[in-house]
Amino acid sequence: MSMRFDAVIVGAGAAGLFCAGVAAQRGLRVALIDHSEHLAEKIRISGGGRCNFTNLEADKPERFLSEDPRFARHALKTYRPERFIALLRSHGIGWHEKHRGQLFCDDSSERIIDMLRTECDRGGVHWMRPCVVHEVSRIEPLQVEHTADSPHAVPRFALRTDAGELVCASLVVATGGLSIPKIGASDWGFRLARQFGLQVITPRPALVPLTFTAQSWQPFAELSGLALEVELALPERPDAPRFREDLLFTHRGLSGPAILQGSSYWHAGEPIAMDLAPGRDLGRELMIARDGTRQQLGTALSAIVPRRLAQAWLADGEIAQILPATPGMPAVFERRIAELGNRALLALAARFKDWRVHPAGTEGWRKAEVTAGGIATPELDPRTLQAHRVPGLYCIGEVVDVTGWLGGYNFQWAWASAWCAAQALARP
Ligand SMILES: Cc1cc2nc3c(=O)[nH]c(=O)nc-3n(C[C@H](O)[C@H](O)[C@H](O)COP(=O)(O)OP(=O)(O)OC[C@H]3O[C@@H](n4cnc5c(N)ncnc54)[C@H](O)[C@@H]3O)c2cc1C
């Protein structure tokens, strides 16, 4: 005897939990399945434990990556950050704005998990976790006895799970992306989508630190821990935005908000470019500094970036093309600006403001905050998140090919897509 539900949601993370609570409070009989022991681990660890749960600018579609950047617009405009903020308020959860519209909980991410759990319980969601779904198949409506006074919507899917067989009218895929496998990420959603003939854009790690070969990074490896503001660009992706944010040196490469943002647009083999003196006309500044001072080049650059970086940057082989080492001359760092010609100073300034490096790769799924790519948006109705070709199948949250910037955009997509799907799920 199978258990019958109006909707079964697989994945009790941000999107699945929110969708389950909203749908159940609309009167649907909802089952929420997750294979993990712990509930919503990504919410728990997000935002350094304080969950950057939305961004006040999250209704801007250009803050999201997707093969079709217009796809997310409907959901983001329908379910705006203010609505989630109102929900927090109704649960007495305090929050504050940290940086550029990013909203964080005052105390802990646990408050958001508790809130979502409470919303599910209010609707009477049937919890099934930990529970593994072994198989999903489509059923023809007539295969299951259904009468006009049946309390459930007409079933379309059968699921074989650890807890027995379930049938449901709507199946919601909310299994998220592939990042941080040790806390429950899996490719289940992508496999299910392919099983039903939906296209999946190859998933790749995004919002992720970039790495370099040991040899190319050797001059900078000792700078690990050093941070400064830069403006990051992707020279081979002219449509990608520039990010003026902090850069962080690591043992293996580069991280920090500037790099994480840029990594979502970066593709293997491409360079990244960093302006180490953002907002400054360095060429002009160096020419002015030349007149009337005996300042060394390294000292002048150390006034703009940390001295250790100025040293490593000036010692890099590429600088020798501008200021070749000559016997009897001091090292580049000690050369007096007054002794350098206009052409050399302008070339140095241009290089400083467009420092190009070639990452060898990324830190991968272990360190990525999100997954770029996923279930292709043309397969889904942007108003309901239902698959065009598979009535009753819905895909929400990170499993879909919609990836937000750093700063609360990914949770807002999870809430917004979940809310739209929850409104559309068939009621008995
Ligand atoms: C370290 C870190 C920090 C982050 N910080 C932020 C932040 O501050 N702000 C922000 O906007 N975004 C942040 N993110 C991204 C954000 O967490 C995700 O975009 C968001 O959680 C996606 O929601 P989701 O419901 O689609 O997926 P998830 O929240 O990942 O939930 C997916 C659920 O599906 C379950 N699942 C997976 N496979 C199966 C299966 N086979 N069977 C059953 N269940 C399954 C998982 O156990 C999980 O519970 C962060 C991510 C990380 C990794």
Question: Best of 33, 102, 175, 179 to mutate for ligand 1, by most ligand atoms within 8 A of CB?
Answer: 175
Residue 110 CA to ligand 1 centre (angstroms): 14
Residue 92 tokens read as 């007495």
**Could you tell me if 304 and 375 are in contact, meaning their C-beta atoms sit under 8 angstroms apart?**
no
Percent of the chain at pLDDT exceeding 90: 83
The number of residues making up the chain comes to: 428
Q: Give the number of the atom of ligand 1 that is nearest the alpha carbon of residue 404.
A: 11
Distance, in Å, from the CA atom of 171 to the CA atom of 381, rounded to the nearest integer, reads 15
Per-residue pLDDT tens for 60-79?
989 999 999 899 999 999 99
Shortest CA distance to 183 belongs to which of 51, 34, 47, 50? Answer: 34
Report residue 332's pLDDT band, with 50, 70 and 90 as the boundaries. confident
What's residue 163's pLDDT?
Answer: 94
Query: Structural domains in the chain?
Result: 3-204+370-424 (3.50.50.60), 206-277+358-362 (2.40.30.10), 283-341 (no CATH)
Higher-pLDDT residue of 100, 421: 421
What's residue 325's pLDDT?
Answer: 74
DSSP letter assigned to residue 179: S
Residue 209 CA to ligand 1 centre (angstroms): 18
DSSP letter assigned to residue 238: T
* Ligand 1, CB cutoff 6 Å, lining residues: 10-16, 33-36, 40, 42, 45-47, 51-52, 133, 174-176, 179-180, 184, 186, 188, 369-370, 397-399, 408-411, 414
Task: Name residue 166's amino acid.
Answer: L
**Could you tell me if 23 and 50 are in contact, meaning their C-beta atoms sit under 8 angstroms apart?**
no
Residue 254 CA to ligand 1 centre (angstroms): 24
* Torsion angles phi and psi, residue 166, rounded to 5: -120, 150
Cβ neighbours of residue 330 under 8 Å, at least 6 residues apart?
none
Sign of torsion over alpha carbons 377, 182, 84, 171: positive
Per-residue pLDDT tens for 112-160?
999 999 999 999 999 999 999 999 999 976 555 555 555 566 889 999 9
Report the range out of 151-160, 164-173, 314-323 with the highest average pLDDT. Answer: 164-173
Distance, in Å, from the CA atom of 361 to the CA atom of 364, rounded to the nearest integer, reads 8
